C-alpha cells in the first residue's frame, strides 16, 4: 500500500509537471510563431522596397542613356556648326581678298571700305 501511495503521488506530481511543461511549450511555440510572422512581414516589405528601388534605378538608367544620347547629338551639332562657321569665314576671307584686289586693280581706295 505504501508503494501504491508513492506511485500515485509520483504520478500526480509528474502529470502536473507535464501539464506545466506542455503549457510552457505551447507559449513558446505561440511566441515563436508570432516572431516568424513578424519576420515574414518584414521580409516581404524589404522585398517590395528592393523591387521599387530596382525600378527606380532602371528608370534613371534609361534617363541617363537618353541624356548621354542627347549630349552626343548636341556635341555633333556643335562640331558641325563650328565646321560650318570656319568654312563660312574662309569663304568670306576669300571673297574679301578678291574684292580688295579688284579695288586695288581699278585704282579705288579699299582702305575705307575693307572690313
Determine the Cα–Cα distance for residues 111 and 98; give it in Å rounded to an integer.
14
Residue 32 lies in a domain: yes
As for how many domains the chain has, the answer is: 1
Per the domain annotation, does 111 fall within a domain?
no
When pLDDT is averaged across residues 62-84 and rounded to a whole number, the result is: 98
Is 112 a member of any domain?
no
- Average per-residue pLDDT for the chain: 87
Pairwise CA distance, residues 42 & 36, whole Å: 10
Q: What is the pLDDT of residue 8?
A: 58
Tell me the three cell numbers of residue 89.
569665314
Give the H/E segment covering residue 39: helix 2-106
pTM for this entry: 0.52
Please name the residues in contact with 115: beta carbons below 8 A apart, sequence gap of 6 or more: 96
**For residue 50, pLDDT beyond 90:** yes
Host domain of residue 26: 1-106
Q: Say which residues have a Cβ less than 8 Å from residue 104's Cβ, sequence separation at least 6.
A: 110
Q: pLDDT value at position 107?
A: 80
| Residue 77 domain-assigned (yes or no) | yes
Query: Which residue did the predictor score with more confidence, 42 or 19?
Result: 42
Place 90 in a pLDDT band, splitting at 50, 70 and 90. very high
Who wins on pLDDT, 114 or 41? Answer: 41
Q: Note whether 114 and 93 are within 8 A (CB).
A: no
Is residue 114 one of the residues assigned to a domain? no
Residue at 113 is within a domain: no
Overall average pLDDT of the 90-104 stretch: 95
Look at residue 115 and tell me if it is in a domain: no
Residue 12 lies in a domain: yes
Amino acid at each position: 500500500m505504501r508503494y501504491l501511495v508513492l506511485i500515485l503521488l509520483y504520478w500526480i506530481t509528474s502529470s502536473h509537471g507535464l501539464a506545466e511543461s506542455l503549457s510552457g511549450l505551447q507559449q513558446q511555440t505561440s511566441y515563436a510563431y508570432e516572431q516568424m510572422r513578424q519576420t515574414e512581414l518584414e521580409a516581404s516589405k524589404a522585398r517590395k522596397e528592393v523591387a521599387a528601388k530596382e525600378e527606380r534605378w532602371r528608370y534613371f538608367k534609361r534617363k541617363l542613356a537618353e541624356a548621354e544620347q542627347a549630349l552626343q547629338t548636341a556635341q555633333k551639332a556643335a562640331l558641325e556648326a563650328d565646321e560650318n562657321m570656319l568654312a563660312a569665314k574662309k569663304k568670306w576671307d576669300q571673297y574679301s581678298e578678291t574684292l580688295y584686289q579688284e579695288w586695288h586693280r581699278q585704282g579705288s581706295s579699299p582702305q575705307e571700305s575693307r572690313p
